[in-house]
């Protein structure tokens, strides 16, 4: 046999590796879909080993991604204890086939008939993660799967459906033992998750130091900073365009100030609205270069105004969004978060904890 010839064993190993690679890729796509915090472009380019700051995505308002477009506060929370709790739950019930949605139901304390009949409402883990929303919990478990602390076993069910059951992953012991009291000097593994904190405003709260006046002042300050920076950059660019001959003979200081004030985003608007800019000048000196600067600072200024108007409207509505914080499975039929829909579509997961359900 030639050394390069593949044996049946190699073939099956190769197909196992390919299969695992594909499963890992699906898990990553699933994680990407669930992630409602990190910039979409940052996530995509990170996969290809590139660093992409979200500020770049936010630079042009019309093309920013859904995560950058939304206004919310984020917080990084330590999920190590919860993760160990989840691993213990999955290990202890390894003989019972448990799906991801069912595990989430136990962790969030959903008290329904299926859980009560199985006696799972008496488990230590029952309701132990009620402080996390369903989506955040799904994101955490997805993270644990990608990092190998958990895995999914895909089992063929008849007729022609596949169910994914959660099992401890190859790194499960590593996480639990590094955090046990007997771990000695071993570095503890920490699991962190950045989550959204929906902004809840209450004007009656005396401790609320983010008053309208302060917010308006800080908005004004940010806009002034943007204007100042834009003014400096326009002058720099004009120096480059005009080289040794002084631009001040052609463009008056007042014209630059007017450009900053109006921040035109198109050639037409620049020529029409700004005194001192003509079609001939624009063509002759390639003022597209100035336009690009104005577009960049203009979208930053728009962003501040837009966020401020969203803030004002949310102040007046006092509305808290609980749409993702389901506590009762009976609601599933009426309204489901996008993440759950994606889960069902991609992996054909079954609700319930066994094939008999
Ligand atoms: Zn983005």
Distance 65 CA to ligand 1 centre (A): 4
Taking the centre of ligand 1 as the mean of its atom positions, its distance from the CA of residue 63, in whole angstroms, is 9
Going from the Cα of 156 to the center of ligand 1, the distance in angstroms, rounded, reads 38
Q: How far is the CA of 27 from the centre of ligand 1 (A)?
A: 21
Sign of the dihedral through C-alpha 11, 13, 16, 20 = negative
> CA distances (Å), 272 to each of 148, 250, 265, 268, 302, in order?
60, 18, 12, 6, 21
- Four-way CATH pick for 216-317: 1.10.287, 3.30.70, 1.10.150, 1.10.3470: 1.10.150
CATH 1.10.240.10 is held by the domain 72-200+320-357: no
Could you tell me the distance, in angstroms and rounded to a whole number, from the CA of residue 195 to the centre of ligand 1? 16
Listed in sequence order, the residues at least 6 apart from 66 whose beta carbon sits closer than 8 Å to its beta carbon are 40
Are the folds of 72-200+320-357 and 216-317 the same?
Answer: no
**Residue that is written with structure tokens 């203009």 in the block:** 298
Cα 38 to middle of ligand 1, angstroms:
7
Ligand 1 mean position, distance from CA 292 (Å): 20
Quote the ligand 1 centre to 288 CA distance (angstroms): 26
Distance of CA 281 to the CA centre of its chain: 45
Contact call for residues 38 and 195 (beta carbons, < 8 A): no
- Bridging pattern class, strands 161-168 and 150-157: antiparallel
Task: Report CA(55)–ligand 1 centroid distance (Å).
Answer: 8
Residue 208's nearest CA partner among 199, 198, 221 is 199
Asked if 263 and 257 touch (Cβ cutoff 8 Å), the reply is: no
* Residue ranges in the chain assigned as alpha helix (H): 8-34, 40-47, 54-59, 66-69, 80-92, 100-107, 113-118, 134-146, 172-178, 212-242, 253-262, 267-273, 279-284, 288-317, 338-347
How many A from CA of 32 to the centre of ligand 1? 13
Q: 310 C-alpha to center of ligand 1: Å?
A: 18
Query: Which are the contacts of 196, defined by CB distance < 8 A and separation ≥ 6?
Result: 36, 37, 72, 73, 74
Crossing angle of helices 253-262 and 288-317, in 10° steps, is: 40
Any idea which residue has 């380019």 for tokens? Answer: 45
What separation in Å is there between the alpha carbon of 214 and the centre of ligand 1? 28
Helices 100-107 and 134-146 meet at what angle, rounded to 10?
130
Cα(79) to centroid(ligand 1), Å: 25
**Distance (Å) from CA 263 to ligand 1 centroid:** 24
Please state, in angstroms and rounded to a whole number, the distance separating the CA atoms of residues 202 and 219: 20
Tell me the domain boundaries of the chain: 10-70, 72-200+320-357, 216-317
pLDDT in single tens digits along all 357 residues of the chain: 444 555 666 666 668 888 888 989 999 999 999 999 999 999 999 888 888 888 888 888 788 899 988 877 788 889 999 999 999 999 998 888 889 999 999 999 998 999 999 999 999 899 988 888 999 999 999 999 999 999 999 888 777 788 899 999 999 998 988 887 665 656 788 899 988 886 434 344 444 455 667 777 777 878 888 898 899 889 988 988 888 788 888 899 999 999 999 999 889 999 999 999 999 999 998 898 899 889 888 888 887 777 776 666 554 433 333 233 323 333 233 333 333 322 222 223 344 444 332
50 C-alpha to ligand 1 centroid (Å): 14
* Å from CA of 54 to ligand 1 middle: 5
ipTM above 0.85, yes or no: yes
What's the CA-to-centroid distance between 232 and ligand 1, angstroms?
27
Cα four-point dihedral sign 151, 156, 160, 163: negative
Q: How far is the CA of 28 from the centre of ligand 1 (A)?
A: 18
Determine if residue 312 is left, alpha or beta; phi over 0 gives left, psi from -120 to 50 gives alpha, anything else beta.
Answer: alpha
Contact between 87 and 172 under an 8 Å Cβ cutoff? The reply is yes
Q: How far is the centre of ligand 1, averaged over its atoms, from the C-alpha of 8 (Å)?
A: 47
Q: Using the mean position of ligand 1's atoms as its centre, give its distance from the Cα of residue 45 in Å.
A: 11
């Amino acid at each position: 046999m030639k050394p390069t010839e593949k044996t049946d064993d190699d073939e099956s190993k190769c197909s196992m590796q390919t299969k695992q690679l594909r499963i890992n890729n699906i898990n990553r796509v699933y994680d990407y879909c669930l992630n409602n915090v990190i910039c979409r472009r940052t996530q995509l380019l990170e996969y290809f080993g590139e660093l992409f700051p979200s500020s770049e995505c936010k630079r042009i308002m019309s093309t920013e991604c859904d995560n950058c477009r939304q206004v919310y506060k984020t917080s990084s929370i330590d999920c190590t204890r919860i993760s160990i709790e989840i691993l213990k739950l999955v290990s202890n019930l390894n003989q019972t086939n448990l799906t991801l949605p069912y595990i989430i139901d136990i962790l969030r304390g959903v008290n329904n008939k299926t859980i009560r009949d199985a006696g799972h409402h008496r488990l230590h883990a029952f309701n132990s993660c009620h402080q996390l929303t369903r989506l955040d919990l799904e994101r955490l478990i997805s993270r644990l799967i990608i990092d190998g602390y958990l895995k999914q076993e895909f089992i063929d069910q008849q007729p022609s459906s596949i169910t994914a059951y959660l099992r401890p992953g190859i790194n499960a012991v590593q996480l639990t033992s590094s955090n046990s009291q007997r771990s000695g000097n071993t570095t503890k593994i920490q699991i962190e998750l950045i989550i959204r904190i929906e902004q809840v405003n209450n004007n009656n709260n005396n401790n609320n130091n983010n008053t309208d006046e302060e917010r308006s002042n800080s908005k004004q300050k940010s806009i002034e900073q943007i204007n100042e920076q834009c003014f400096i950059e326009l002058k720099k660019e004009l120096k480059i365009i005009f080289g040794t001959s002084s631009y001040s003979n052609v463009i008056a200081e007042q014209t630059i100030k007017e450009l900053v004030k109006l921040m035109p985003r198109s050639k037409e608007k620049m020529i029409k609205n700004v005194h001192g800019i003509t079609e001939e000048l624009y063509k002759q000196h390639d003022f597209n270069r100035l336009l690009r600067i104005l577009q960049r600072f203009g979208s930053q200024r728009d962003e501040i105004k837009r966020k401020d108007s969203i803030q004002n409207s949310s102040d007046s509505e006092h509305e808290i969004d609980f749409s993702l914080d389901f506590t009762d499975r009976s609601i599933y039929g009426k309204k489901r978060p996008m993440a759950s829909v994606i889960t069902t579509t991609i992996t054909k997961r079954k609700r319930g904890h066994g094939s008999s359900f």
